[in-house]
Every structure is written in structure tokens, then in C-alpha cells.
Structure 1
């Protein structure tokens, strides 16, 4: 958690505000003396661009499809993408489909 906070420049105070908890609670989570409830954990994961499972050191759950991780990530973090990023993602997917269709003709 601390490494992700550093990576994204998120202070304990900012993380606490985003997660809906206190800065002292974040400090306790970091020291391992307290664990967040499920809602706070989910909010922390979103703020740190990861999943609750990752923060807990568990294997990432995936939707059972060849693109499950990507779909799951987009569902969780899609709201954070700019319009340009959404457009680029859609364009990339459409180009890949077009390329596949051209190859099967």
C-alpha cells in the first residue's frame, strides 16, 4: 500500500479523504495494527489503482473470459479515464477487430 501511495503521490490525508476514513486509521492500516472494513478497502484500492485482492496479497479474481482482467480493470477504473483515453481504447479495440476480420476473409 505504501509503495502505491508513493507511486501515485498520495498522502495519508488524501487517501483517508478518498477512502472515507481518518488519517489515523490509514496510519494503522499501514502499520498493520488495524484492518479496514470492506468498503474502505475497496475505496483505498480504487484510489491506488489496484484491487482489494492485490492489497490483501491474494490472487486477482478475474472474469472468466480471455479478456477478463482487462474487462474487470476497465469496469473498476473506467471512470478515471479521460474522454481521449476512452476514445483511444475503443479505437484500439475496433482496429484489432477490423484486422482480425481482414485476416479471416
Structure 2
């Protein structure tokens, strides 16, 4: 099991002032599970890891100690930002981003997505 994952989670929890209970509630898991991830006794499922990364404003790759390959491109920076902060966006902000992307590709109206 990964002590590295636990260390990275712990550092980010400290940085953002998040307790184990808060992380569990926000990521859809339990406090005992978070405790096991932190100690390296258990690893989260991919979905739980993604939720934890979102709450901690990071990526699954970072938590696992993997290289974040695409961050050095404009797309990578946008994608990384969305992964880290997407949960902080309102429904309207999310909709506006999607509409802007589709409009830039000329597909907005064709796909039935309209501005409100």
C-alpha cells in the first residue's frame, strides 16, 4: 500500500485546513476509510481517489506520485484547473464554460446547447 499517497493527502489536508471527517464527507467516503488511506493500509478506488483529489484541489496523478504529463500545454493547464477547481464552480459557470468551448468549435447550436 502507498505511504506516499497518505503523505500527499495529509500535506494537502493540512494546507487546506481539512480534517479527516470533512474530507470523508466531501469526497463521499467514511472517516475510517480516510484514516486507512492516510496510513497506507488501504488504497481508494479510482472514483474515490478522483473525489479526494477534487476536494484537495489537486489531481489523482499528483496524489499517486505520477507525472502530470499534459500540464505543460494550454490544454493541460485548463484541464488541471478544472480537475482541481471544477467542484467550486456553480452550475451556471459550468454551463458557460461548456458553451464557450462548443462555440469555439462551432458546435454549440448544432448539439442543442443554447445560451440562457
Q: Do both proteins adopt the same fold according to a TM-score greater than 0.5, normalized to the shorter chain?
A: yes
Cα deviation, residue 71, structure 1: 1.2
More RCO (CA 8 Å, sep 6+): 2
Match of 2:54 in 1: 46
Cα deviation, residue 81, structure 1: 5.3
Match of 2:33 in 1: 25
Looking at structure 2, the residues matched to 13 and 20 of structure 1 have their Cα atoms a distance apart, in angstroms, of: 11
Alpha-carbon distance change, 79 to 14 in structure 1, aligned in 2, over 3 angstroms:
closer
Which ranges in structure 1 are unaligned for 5 or more consecutive residues? Answer: 83-105
Which ranges in structure 2 are unaligned for 5 or more consecutive residues? Answer: 1-8, 91-116
Match of 2:78 in 1: 71
Larger Rg: 1
Cα deviation, residue 55, structure 1: 0.2
Cα deviation, residue 19, structure 1: 1.2
SS in 2 for 1:62: coil
SS in 1 for 2:53: helix
Matches within 5 A, 1:52-91: 52-62=60-70, 66-76=73-83, 77-80=85-88
SS in 2 for 1:34: coil
Structure with the higher helix share, 1 or 2? 1
Alignment length (residue pairs)? 81
Q: Give the TM-score normalised by structure 2.
A: 0.63
Aligned residues: CA RMSD: 1.9
SS in 1 for 2:48: helix
Superposition misfits of 4+ residues, deviation over 3 angstroms: none
Deviations 1:60-104 (A, max 9, x none): 1327x831332112332244258xxxxxxxxxxxxxxxxxxxxxx
